[in-house]
Structure formats: C-alpha cells, structure tokens
Amino acid sequence: MQKIIDGKAFAADLRADITKKAAELKARDAIVPGLAVVLVGEDPASQVYVRNKGKQTVECGMLSFEHKLPDTTAQDELMELIDKLNNDDSVHGILVQLPLPKQIDENSVINRINPDKDVDGFHLDNVGRLSIGDEGIVPCTPLGCLMMIKDQLGDLSGKHAVVVGRSNIVGKPVAALLLQENCTVVITHSRTVNLEEECRRADILVAAVGRPEMVKGDWIKPGATVIDVGINRIDTADGKTRLVGDVDFASAEPVAGKITPVPGGVGPMTIACLLHNTLQQACRINNVAVPE
Ligand code: NDP
C-alpha cells in the first residue's frame, strides 16, 4: 500500500459507488435523492463550495436545489425557507452553508432542520446520537477521516488516537467516532500541556487546528497514521499563495506510516461524504433499504 493516502482517488471511488446506488434506487423505488444547499451572502469561498457541491450532486445522479439569499436576510426568512425544505418530499438533505451573517443565530437555524434531513450532522439530535453511540447522521469531514483510517488500518481496537483540536465540527466528532471504534482517544487543544509529547504517543494522529504546518515530523511516532484536516492558505516567496495543512508534510512524511496530503487528502472526502449522507437519508426517510 502507498504511504501517501490519496483522498482524491478515495473520494472518486466513493462517488462512483454512490452514483451506482442512486441509479439502483431510482430504478427499484423511483426515488431520486435530493440535496438542498442554502447560501446566505456573497462569501467567495462559500460560493465555490456551494458550486462544487451542486456539480457533484448532479454528477452522482441526484437532484440539487440551490437557494441563494442576500446577506441582509433576516432570521425569520431563513427559518421559513428551512420549514419549506423540511416539508418538501423531494428534499432528503438540507445543508446551510456556514458561516452565516451576524444577524442570524447559527444554532437556531441548524436546529430548525429536520434531524432526518440534517446531512451535515450538526443538529443537536445527531450530535447526541453520535455521543451515545446511537445511529444518526455523522458530520461529513469526520466521517471522511474515519473512512480513510479504517481503509488503511482495518480494525482500530486498542489503537492510541490523538486528536488535535476540539471544535464541534471536526475535533469532537472525530474523537467520538474513534472512541466508537474502540480506540483509546486523547483530545488535545490550545491549553494542552506538552502537546508534542501527547502527539508522539499516537498510533493515529488527527490534526484539525487551523495552524499552518504546526505538527512537525518529530512530534510523530514512527509508523503512525497521520490525518491532516487543516486547510490553510499561506503566502509564498514569489508573491503567490499555496494551500498547506496543519501538519508539516516535508518533515512528517518520512516518519509517518501513512499520511494524507493537503490538498488531495481529507478535503475531497467532505463532499463525497455529504452525498453519501444524502443517499442514506433518502433511503431512511422513504423506509427502503440502501441498494447493495
Ligand atoms: P476551529 O478553529 O473551530 O478549532 C481549532 C481547534 O484547534 C480548537 O479546538 C483550538 O483549541 C485548537 N488549537 C488552536 N491552536 C492550537 C494550538 N496551538 N495547539 C493546540 N490546539 C490548538 O477549527 P476547525 O475545527 O473548524 O478546523 C480546523 C482546520 O480544519 C482548519 O484549517 C479548517 O480550515 C480545516 N477544515 C477542513 C475541512 C475539510 O473539508 N477538509 C472541513 C472543516 C475544517 P481551543 O478549543 O482551545 O481554542
């Protein structure tokens, strides 16, 4: 097996599988999974994400509904749209692109989404289910990390996993998933004492910090599996910018057993897992089995 985990190829395989299952679902049950993406405001990065999501949704044979609202949108208007999508039978997944403009309370909006359509897995119902190990919707980036780790390592029982970062969207759900897989999990953060030493104990190290190239090669146990969630844009000497992760790839790659690059590692898995969640929910909402 290759040392560098090819997230782009993994995501392409996952999308191919989803495309096949979506076609079977249509032929067998006349159900076409539908994903609604809501974008409020003009944030350029969010616009790119939304465009990519829509394109890949359609490529997988699913329906894509895009709702673009001005950044002056009031909370009530957004809530009304969520209610409409909750009641629309052709919509099986609802994603509200974050961040939202400051006049809107993100938590209220997320928790207004029908938990069965919350394909981002951020609704309190789904957060609670993940926390108690009940079946629910798992957030996309953490799910992508777990899929890649299991693909590389198989059974994770007893592995020592260290997660750097404790955000609600990445660090905590990744830790919950690894715990469900019977890893011994340590969650670290900005107040952790001796972070480097904690990292050196990891068989599986997941970095979700948002600090360019913070995790160095000498923080890594030889042979460890390193998953770099970070996406950071840094300026280069020639006046351009380049994407780097939270792991210093140049020093980490020779030490790690397996490692994800940035770009081309975790990033492509996020949208693929969003489509995976949408297909699963289309089946669950309609009470039919997911095609084999
Ligand atoms: P947040 O800013 O929400 O959380 C960052 C976490 O890192 C916090 O828990 C913080 O600790 C911790 N942290 C910050 N500085 C340090 C430090 N010096 N030492 C140890 N811990 C530290 O970020 P996200 O979780 O949302 O995102 C993390 C990274 O992942 C970002 O680069 C983001 O762009 C990327 N990302 C990538 C995605 C993808 O699709 N691949 C999807 C989502 C995010 P504390 O809690 O104490 O403040």
Return the amino acid letter for 207: A
Atom 6 of ligand 1 has which residue's CA nearest to it? Answer: 165
Q: Which of 118, 120, 203, 246 is catalytic?
A: 120
CA distances from 89 to 42, 52, 80 (A): 28, 24, 16
In the predicted structure, residue 15 carries a pLDDT above the cut 90: yes
> Helices 44-59 and 7-29: crossing angle, nearest 10°?
50
pLDDT tens per residue, range 150-189: 999 999 999 999 999 999 999 999 999 999 999 999 999 9
- Closest Cα to atom 12 of ligand 1: 165
* Per-residue pLDDT at 1 exceeds 80: no
Please state, for a pLDDT cut of 70, what percent of the chain lies above it: 100
Provide the pLDDT for residue 173. 98
Task: Give the closest residue (by CA) to ligand 1 atom 5.
Answer: 209
Domains of the chain (ranges; CATH) run 29-116 (3.40.50.10860), 140-267 (3.40.50.720)
Alpha helices for the chain (secondary structure H):
7-29, 44-59, 75-86, 106-112, 124-132, 140-153, 171-180, 195-200, 249-252, 267-285
At residue 63 the predicted structure's pLDDT band, cuts being 50, 70 and 90, is: very high
Contacts 24+ apart (CB under 8 A), 213-217: 213/244, 213/245, 213/246, 213/247, 213/248, 213/249, 214/246, 214/247, 214/248, 215/164, 215/246, 215/247, 215/248, 215/252, 216/248, 216/251, 216/252, 217/248, 217/250, 217/251, 217/252, 217/253, 217/254, 217/255
* pTM for the predicted model, two decimal places: 0.97
Helix (H, G, I), strand (E, B) or coil at 185: strand
Token duo for residue 48: 């790119």
Q: What is the pLDDT of residue 250?
A: 98
Please determine, for residue 281, whether its predicted confidence score (pLDDT) is greater than 80: yes
pLDDT, position 31: 98
Q: How far apart are CA 256 and CA 247, in angstroms?
A: 11
- pLDDT for position 285: 98
pLDDT in tens, 238-264: 999 999 999 999 999 999 999 999 999
Q: Of all atoms in ligand 1, which is nearest to the CA of residue 166?
A: 9
pLDDT at 244: 97
Q: Is 141 in the pocket of ligand 1 (CB under 6 A)?
A: yes
Q: How far apart are CA 94 and CA 230, in angstroms?
A: 25
Is 120 annotated as catalytic? Answer: yes
200 CB-contact burial (10 Å; exposed 0-12 / middle 13-18 / buried 19+): middle
CA of 197 to the centre of ligand 1 (A): 19
Query: In degrees rounded to 5, what are phi and psi of residue 228?
Result: -105, 105
Structure confidence at residue 222 (pLDDT) = 98
